[in-house]
């Protein structure tokens, strides 16, 4: 690993040599400057992990130099230790602390104190460098893993689609001859294939969104068509559970959105609402124009189970599995809501949720032109 760089600034050559040789360490590369001006030039060329600065210097004093360093660095906060030959009063000391100095050490003190403190900072800087290296290694392997997952998901999509096709054909062949047990197995196979296919598609889309590869194609679209299409997608499931699917019929509202993606979001929210609402319940899509701030509020509301408190804060987090079974034992992957959030973020907005145990949930977001 590269050596840790340390800069000592003092207008006395004698002090520079004395402290420099005292602090010499195989892990450390010591730089010295005998003026604030020279120090500022060195700072532009090197990445220092610690500054040791004399308070009283002729050109720029220690406080002025420290202020300039902090202005140059802005984000990094390299520690500064002030050294001084004279006693410093409390007010001046606090002036230094305010600028970002972490300690004052008297030149008349035993230099062992300085060496000891410097040793701690050098160790901290070494640990920080190790962390930075480790972090970039992790990022690299994370990227490789994501690429691998994307390739596997992509290659699984076709055989899964084919299996689903064959299962559908099989269930249609001589339908009347299947006994109850065989029919149940076929239904189960069908459901598992659909679930696997959804999972694979979700993984692909989440990966594409994360890497910026998924294109969002915004065009002026009619909101009514978007809602109608989304409702069409889930009608079958609502009928199966005798759920009343209500659409408050948005007027002729046009919006600049990616229609496919917004249909996908509303379909996902409707699927969830149906999944977590018991038979005979009610699921609504509510559209309201927001005349004060502009745009349109879209809401999917149900009177179902409500959302468990423990998963509420992680609903949109891809890293946390939140999936639970629906009221009819429907299974899911837990990718639906994180994907919705990503797609809505790609429309410069955000999804919100409100829920009440046993009373239902409402998911809502705003679309702007
Ligand atoms: N309307 C809702 N009512 C109650 N719980 C909900 C509702 N929407 C989401 N949830 C809870 O949030 C979890 C995560 O939802 P999400 O859509 O991300 O995944 P999923 O529905 O489990 O799987 P997938 O959408 O991939 O099929 C659900 O499993 C459920 O526990
Ligand atoms: Mg879902």
DSSP string, 113-160: HHHHHHHHHHHHHHHHHHHHHHHHHHHHHHHHHHHHHHHHHHHHHHHH
Query: Which of 14-18, 205-209, 280-284, 326-330 is least confident?
Result: 205-209
Read off the pLDDT of residues 222-244 as tens digits, 9 standing for 90 and up.
999 999 989 988 888 899 999 99
- In this prediction the pTM is 0.61
Ligand (nearest to CA of 363): 1
Q: Is 360 in the pocket of ligand 1 (CB under 6 A)?
A: no
**pLDDT for the residue numbered 182:** 87
Domain ranges of the chain: 4-109, 134-214, 216-369
CATH fit for domain 134-214, picks 1.10.530, 2.40.160, 1.10.3120, 1.10.287:
1.10.287
Read off the pLDDT of residues 113-131 as tens digits, 9 standing for 90 and up.
889 989 999 999 999 889 9
**pLDDT for the residue numbered 206:** 76
Is the per-residue pLDDT at 54 higher than 90? yes
Tell how far the Cα of 273 is from the centroid of ligand 1, in angstroms. 8
**pLDDT for the residue numbered 212:** 66
**Mean pLDDT value of segment 26-55:** 93
Is the per-residue pLDDT at 213 higher than 70? no
Read off the pLDDT of residues 134-175 as tens digits, 9 standing for 90 and up.
999 999 888 888 778 878 887 888 888 889 889 888 888 877
Q: What angle do CA 234, 235, 241 make, to 5 degrees?
A: 95
**pLDDT for the residue numbered 155:** 82
Percent of the chain scoring above 90 in pLDDT: 50
Task: Using the atom order of ligand 1, give the atom closest to the CA of residue 304.
Answer: 3
**Mean pLDDT value of segment 277-287:** 96
Q: How confident is the model at residue 293 (pLDDT cuts 50, 70, 90)?
A: confident
**pLDDT for the residue numbered 33:** 95
Is the per-residue pLDDT at 292 higher than 90? no
**Mean pLDDT value of segment 27-51:** 93
| 107 φ/ψ angles, rounded to the nearest 5 degrees | -65, -25
**Mean pLDDT value of segment 350-363:** 96
Q: Is 302 in the pocket of ligand 1 (CB under 6 A)?
A: yes
**pLDDT for the residue numbered 319:** 80
Tell how far the Cα of 202 is from the centroid of ligand 2, in angstroms. 11
Q: Which of 5, 29, 11, 1 is nearest to 134 (CA)?
A: 1
**Mean pLDDT value of segment 300-315:** 95
Q: Is 267 in the pocket of ligand 1 (CB under 6 A)?
A: no
**pLDDT for the residue numbered 112:** 86
H or E element: which one contains 7? strand 4-9
**Mean pLDDT value of segment 3-11:** 94
Task: Using the atom order of ligand 1, give the atom closest to the CA of residue 195.
Answer: 27
Is the per-residue pLDDT at 196 higher than 80? yes
* Count of other CB atoms within 10 angstroms of residue 314: 15
**pLDDT for the residue numbered 197:** 86
Ligand (nearest to CA of 307): 1
Which parts of 18-89 are beta strand (E)? 28-33, 50-54, 80-84
**pLDDT for the residue numbered 75:** 63
Q: How far apart are CA 75 and CA 80, in angstroms?
A: 15
Q: Is 342 in the pocket of ligand 1 (CB under 6 A)?
A: no
**Mean pLDDT value of segment 329-352:** 90
Superfamily (CATH) of domain 4-109: Response regulator (3.40.50.2300)
In CATH, the number for domain 216-369 is 3.30.565.10
Read off the pLDDT of residues 76-98 as tens digits, 9 standing for 90 and up.
688 999 999 888 888 888 888 98
The mean pLDDT of the chain is 89
Q: How far apart are CA 52 and CA 71, in angstroms?
A: 17
């Amino acid at each position: 690993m590269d050596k840790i760089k340390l800069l000592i600034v003092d207008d006395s050559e004698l002090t520079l040599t004395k402290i420099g040789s005292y602090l010499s360490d195989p892990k450390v590369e010591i730089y010295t400057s005998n003026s604030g001006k020279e120090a500022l030039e060195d700072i532009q060329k090197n990445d220092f992990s610690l500054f040791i600065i004399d308070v009283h210097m002729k050109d720029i004093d220690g406080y002025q130099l420290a202020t300039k360093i902090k202005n140059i660095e802005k984000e990094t906060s390299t520690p500064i230790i002030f050294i001084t030959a004279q006693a410093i009063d409390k007010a001046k000391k606090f002036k230094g602390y305010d600028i970002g100095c972490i300690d004052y050490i008297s030149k008349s003190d035993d230099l062992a104190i300085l060496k000891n403190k410097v040793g701690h900072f050098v160790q901290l800087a070494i640990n920080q460098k190790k962390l930075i290296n480790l972090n970039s290694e992790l990022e690299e392997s994370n990227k490789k893993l994501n690429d691998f997952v994307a390739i596997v998901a992509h290659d699984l999509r076709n055989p899964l689609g084919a299996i689903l096709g064959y299962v559908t054909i099989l269930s249609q062949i001589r339908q009347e001859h299947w006994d109850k047990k065989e029919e149940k197995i076929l239904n189960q196979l069908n459901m598992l294939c659909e679930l696997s296919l959804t999972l694979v598609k979700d993984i692909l889309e989440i990966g594409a969104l994360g890497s910026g590869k998924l294109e969002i194609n915004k065009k002026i679209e009619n909101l009514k068509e978007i809602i109608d299409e989304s409702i069409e997608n889930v009608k079958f499931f609502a009928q199966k559970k005798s759920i009343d699917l209500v659409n408050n019929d948005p007027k002729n509202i046009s919006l600049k959105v990616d229609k496919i993606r917004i249909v996908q979001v509303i379909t996902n929210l409707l699927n969830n609402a149906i999944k977590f609402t018991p038979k005979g319940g009610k699921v609504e899509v509510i559209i309201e124009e927001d005349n004060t701030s502009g745009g349109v509020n879209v809401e999917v509301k149900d009177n179902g189970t409500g959302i468990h408190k423990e998963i509420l804060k992680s609903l949109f987090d891809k890293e946390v599995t939140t999936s639970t079974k629906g009221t009819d034992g429907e299974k899911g992957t837990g990718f639906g809501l994180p994907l919705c959030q990503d797609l809505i973020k790609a429309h410069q907005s955000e999804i919100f949720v409100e829920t009440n145990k046993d009373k239902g949930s409402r998911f809502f977001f705003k679309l702007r032109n």
